[in-house]
Amino acid sequence: MVRIGKLVVIGVGLIGGSFALAMKRSGGAESVVGVGRGRSNIEAAHRLGIVDRGFVLDDAWTAELGDADLVFLAPPVGQMPSLLAAIAPHLGLQTLITDAGSTKQDVVAAARTLLGSALPRFVPGHPIAGTEHSGATAAFDALFRDKQVVLTPLLETDATALTRVAECWTRCGATVRRLDPARHDAILSAVSHLPHTLAFALIADLAARADANDCFDLAGTGLRDFTRLASSHPGMWRDICLANRDALRRDLASYRDRLQRIDALLDARDGEALLALFTRAHSARDAWVERQSGGDEV
Amino acid sequence: MVRIGKLVVIGVGLIGGSFALAMKRSGGAESVVGVGRGRSNIEAAHRLGIVDRGFVLDDAWTAELGDADLVFLAPPVGQMPSLLAAIAPHLGLQTLITDAGSTKQDVVAAARTLLGSALPRFVPGHPIAGTEHSGATAAFDALFRDKQVVLTPLLETDATALTRVAECWTRCGATVRRLDPARHDAILSAVSHLPHTLAFALIADLAARADANDCFDLAGTGLRDFTRLASSHPGMWRDICLANRDALRRDLASYRDRLQRIDALLDARDGEALLALFTRAHSARDAWVERQSGGDEV
């Protein structure tokens, strides 16, 4: 199994912090250097044993890159280009680079432009894991256990680099899957970016009502679950929605059409067609839950 | 505290069964008679100790109504009119009637037409509680503990009847709130009927994709929570959506407008406005969760 001597994590939040913890506690990384925007977050990461040394972006941290074995990029995706540009001139000749961005076509495009000769050592990735919490204090070493990680290597990607990054994720307890970046973005738009957008939209609609207080007072656990995604980090999700806007706009259009058809069924009091739709959805979801976990809600 | 001698529960599913259990175990009801559509469900309810005697609709069950102290109606709302018509001629002169329908204007209208002289003893109600499971086997006595129950009495409703039904709910551990039926339906459309519809719609959209299998394979816990409502009983939800279609169509229209505005922001790459929207939603949800439970996700 792969062992990383020096791991540099850029963006020590839920994902970056959890990766650092999982790698350290599994013996996969000897030392971790953390780099982030906020001083208090990096200090928390140090206090919690997530990083051995911490820097904010204004510090002289790029000197840490020359002898780094792996650089793990986990900032909000909107900051990926400037960070790729910042690290490129300072990477060692053996340094591997990977990322945890929720969108992949934009990261791949930025890496192609900015990473230069380090491009073959860059392995784009996306762990399908998370909670609605953010920051180093939300990190925990089991976040990726039994979760999936998608790697979207380029034609130029070095086979050894790919294997080593995949092994890091295996160390964290995840299973690794390869996908084309465009396919990744299309699928994640449907199963993650669209649902997040819908949850934000519903809460925004509720909060804008004249009877908003009564609505929230009477809402039950159903609305809680339905809108948990709306407690996700707003800035991170703005970045993701913009980065994957083409796929997201296609899915939004299809979803709005679906709502329009449901409205037409309500207008026509077509109970039979409504029942058929609800039954189809019910069966599809139950089959999925059954497949993923033997039927237990998790 | 109120004590019910003989309780007749019509529709012994999650709600009716849980009410029967909570009333029996708290000493609030001496005996429970159950009436339902499916023989196997009623047999399960009897086996589980939810009802002392069980009938299906084809049996001669109306003779049980004359000396009943309380009739609790908890069928899918679409069956409410025919059941009100069926019980009306057989109710005792002291028998109280209440229901657990998720919509109230339609139930109130049906009761006005069908209950005749028993109308003042009818207390329309709606417990804001549930799981995505259904049937007698899903019932449990703690379902209503720390939950809210909305009662929507009419001008004609007898004050003693209202008090006694409210006390039954207090026995079940719920807090009781009064609302006008139209206000109830408007609020519940926003916080329950719309989210259910949106969850069914999203799963239907996903299942209709050419890459549906890949989508479900890569979906994480976020989609699980977001779509849990789509595992609700399809027939029950068809009834609810049709019963409350005016409010639901208004909310659907408002929501589709919201999605259209979000699409326009994506089209314009207006990150600032997107961030403002997501931040507003994030804050509203967190404030709500904080208010309801001191910030713990439940």
- Shared domain for A266 and A280, answered yes or no, is yes
Cβ–Cβ gap B225/A228 under 8 Å: yes
Cβ–Cβ gap B284/A204 under 8 Å: yes
Q: How far apart are the CA of A133 and the nearest CA of chain B, in angstroms?
A: 11
Instruction: Supply the CATH number for residue A44's domain.
Output: 3.40.50.720
**pLDDT given at position A134:** 86
Q: Is residue A298 a part of any domain in this protein?
A: no
For residue A127, the cross-strand partners are A149
Cβ–Cβ gap A216/B191 under 8 Å: yes
Q: Which residue of B has its CA nearest to A247?
A: B266
Q: Which residues of B39-49 are buried (b: 16+ CB within 10 A; e: fewer)?
A: eebbebbbebe
- Shared domain for A154 and A46, answered yes or no, is yes
For residue B165, the cross-strand partners are none
Residue A150 CA to residue A128 CA, distance in Å, equals 7
Query: What percentage of chain A has pLDDT greater than the value 90?
Result: 90
**pLDDT given at position B31:** 97
Q: Is residue A146 a part of any domain in this protein?
A: yes
Residue B296 CA to residue B298 CA, distance in Å, equals 6
For residue A9, the cross-strand partners are A34, A72
Nearest residue, CB atoms, B266 vs list A214, A234, A245: A245
Nearest residue, CB atoms, A204 vs list B227, B235, B277: B277
Domain of A220 in residue numbering reads as: 183-293
- Shared domain for A70 and A147, answered yes or no, is yes
Q: Is residue B297 a part of any domain in this protein?
A: no
Last residue of a domain, one of A163, A179, A195: A179
DSSP string, B130-193: --S--SGGG--TTTTTT-EEEE---TT--HHHHHHHHHHHHHTT-EEEE--HHHHHHHHIIIII
- Which residues in chain A touch residue B188, judged by CB atoms under 8 angstroms apart? 218
SS (H, E, C) A115-168: CHHHHHHEECEEEECCCCCCCHHHCCCCCCCCCEEEECCCCCCCHHHHHHHHHH
- The CB density around residue B231, as the number of other CB atoms within 10 Å, is 23
- Shared domain for B162 and B203, answered yes or no, is no
- The CB density around residue A146, as the number of other CB atoms within 10 Å, is 10
Q: Do the Cβ atoms of A189 and A248 come closer than 8 Å?
A: yes
Separation in Å, CA B131 to CA B13, B47, B244 = 11, 22, 20
Average pLDDT over residues A145-168: 97
Cβ–Cβ gap B256/A259 under 8 Å: yes
Q: Name the one residue in this structure whose structure tokens are 């979000």.
A: B262
The structure tokens listed for B292 are 């309801």
How many residues comprise chain A?
298
Residues 6+ apart with CB under 8 A from A226: A199, A202, B195, B198, B199, B225, B226, B228, B229
Q: Name the one residue in this structure whose structure tokens are 């309810």.
A: B45
Q: Name the one residue in this structure whose structure tokens are 């009064």.
A: B178
Nearest residue, CB atoms, A298 vs list B198, B224, B245: B224
Q: Is residue B279 a part of any domain in this protein?
A: no
Consecutive H or E run containing B213 = helix B212-218
Cβ–Cβ gap A204/B282 under 8 Å: no
Label residue B206 exposed, middle or buried (CB < 10 Å: 0-12, 13-18, 19+): buried
- Shared domain for A36 and A159, answered yes or no, is yes
Q: Is residue B298 a part of any domain in this protein?
A: no
Cβ–Cβ gap B256/A260 under 8 Å: yes
Residue B116 CA to residue B215 CA, distance in Å, equals 54
Last residue of a domain, one of B122, B146, B179: B179
- Shared domain for B146 and B240, answered yes or no, is no
Separation in Å, CA B188 to CA A88, A115, B191, B243 = 54, 53, 5, 12
Q: Note down pLDDT in tens along chain B; length 298 residues.
A: 788 999 999 999 999 999 999 999 999 999 999 999 999 999 999 999 999 999 999 999 999 999 999 999 999 888 999 999 999 999 999 999 999 999 999 999 999 999 999 999 999 999 999 887 889 999 999 999 999 999 999 999 999 999 999 999 999 999 999 999 999 999 999 999 999 999 999 999 999 999 999 999 999 888 999 999 998 889 999 999 999 999 999 999 999 999 999 999 999 999 999 999 999 999 999 999 998 876 554 3
Apex CA A248: angle with CA A242 and CA A253, to 5°? 130
Question: Which residue intervals of A56-130 are DSSP H helices?
Answer: 80-87, 105-114
Q: Which residue of A has its CA nearest to B126?
A: A218
Residues 6+ apart with CB under 8 A from A195: A229, B202, B222, B223, B226, B227
Cβ–Cβ gap A190/B209 under 8 Å: yes
List, for residues A62-91, the tens digit of each pLDDT value.
999 999 999 999 998 889 999 999 999 999
**pLDDT given at position A296:** 55
- Shared domain for B97 and B169, answered yes or no, is yes
Angle between helices B245-267 and B194-207 (to 10 degrees): 60
Q: Is residue A137 a part of any domain in this protein?
A: yes
Apex CA A248: angle with CA A247 and CA A254, to 5°? 95
Q: Which residue of B has its CA nearest to A191?
A: B219
- Shared domain for A86 and A192, answered yes or no, is no
Label residue B283 exposed, middle or buried (CB < 10 Å: 0-12, 13-18, 19+): middle
Q: Is residue B281 a part of any domain in this protein?
A: no
pLDDT above 80 for A293: no
Cβ–Cβ gap A266/B260 under 8 Å: no
Cβ–Cβ gap A281/B201 under 8 Å: yes
Amino acid at residue number A292:
Q
Q: What pTM value is reported for the model?
A: 0.88
Q: Which of B195, B285, B287, B280 is CA-nearest to residue A238? A: B280
Q: Which of B211, B217, B288, B297 to mutate to test the interface with A (most CBs of A within 10 A)?
A: B288
Cβ–Cβ gap A206/B197 under 8 Å: no
What are residue B122's phi and psi, to 5 degrees? -100, 125
Residue A276 CA to residue A272 CA, distance in Å, equals 6
Q: Is residue B272 a part of any domain in this protein?
A: no
- Shared domain for B84 and B40, answered yes or no, is yes
Amino acid at residue number B24:
K
Cβ–Cβ gap B197/A262 under 8 Å: yes
Last residue of a domain, one of A137, A163, A179: A179
Q: Name the one residue in this structure whose structure tokens are 């908003």.
A: A212
Q: How far apart are the CA of A152 and the nearest CA of chain B, in angstroms?
A: 14
Instruction: Supply the CATH number for residue A284's domain.
Output: 1.10.3660.10
**pLDDT given at position A168:** 98
Cβ–Cβ gap B256/A253 under 8 Å: no
Residue B112 CA to residue B119 CA, distance in Å, equals 7
Nearest residue, CB atoms, A229 vs list B150, B222, B234: B222
Cβ–Cβ gap B183/A214 under 8 Å: yes
- Shared domain for B207 and B174, answered yes or no, is no
Q: Which of B131, B202, B251 to mutate to test the interface with A (most CBs of A within 10 A)?
A: B202
**pLDDT given at position A292:** 83
Nearest residue, CB atoms, A281 vs list B191, B207, B289: B207
- Which residues in chain B touch residue A190, judged by CB atoms under 8 angstroms apart? 205-206, 209, 211, 215
Residue A42 CA to residue B193 CA, distance in Å, equals 43
Q: Which residues of B124-158 are buried (b: 16+ CB within 10 A; e: fewer)?
A: bbbbbbbbbebbbbbbbbebbeebbbbbbbbeebb
- Shared domain for A216 and A86, answered yes or no, is no
**Among A9-23, A90-104, A283-297, B217-231, the least confident range:** A283-297
Overall domain count for chain A: 2
Label residue B256 exposed, middle or buried (CB < 10 Å: 0-12, 13-18, 19+): middle
- Shared domain for A169 and A189, answered yes or no, is no
The structure tokens listed for A104 are 């992949």
How many residues comprise chain B?
298
**pLDDT given at position B68:** 98
Q: Which residue of B has its CA nearest to A216?
A: B288
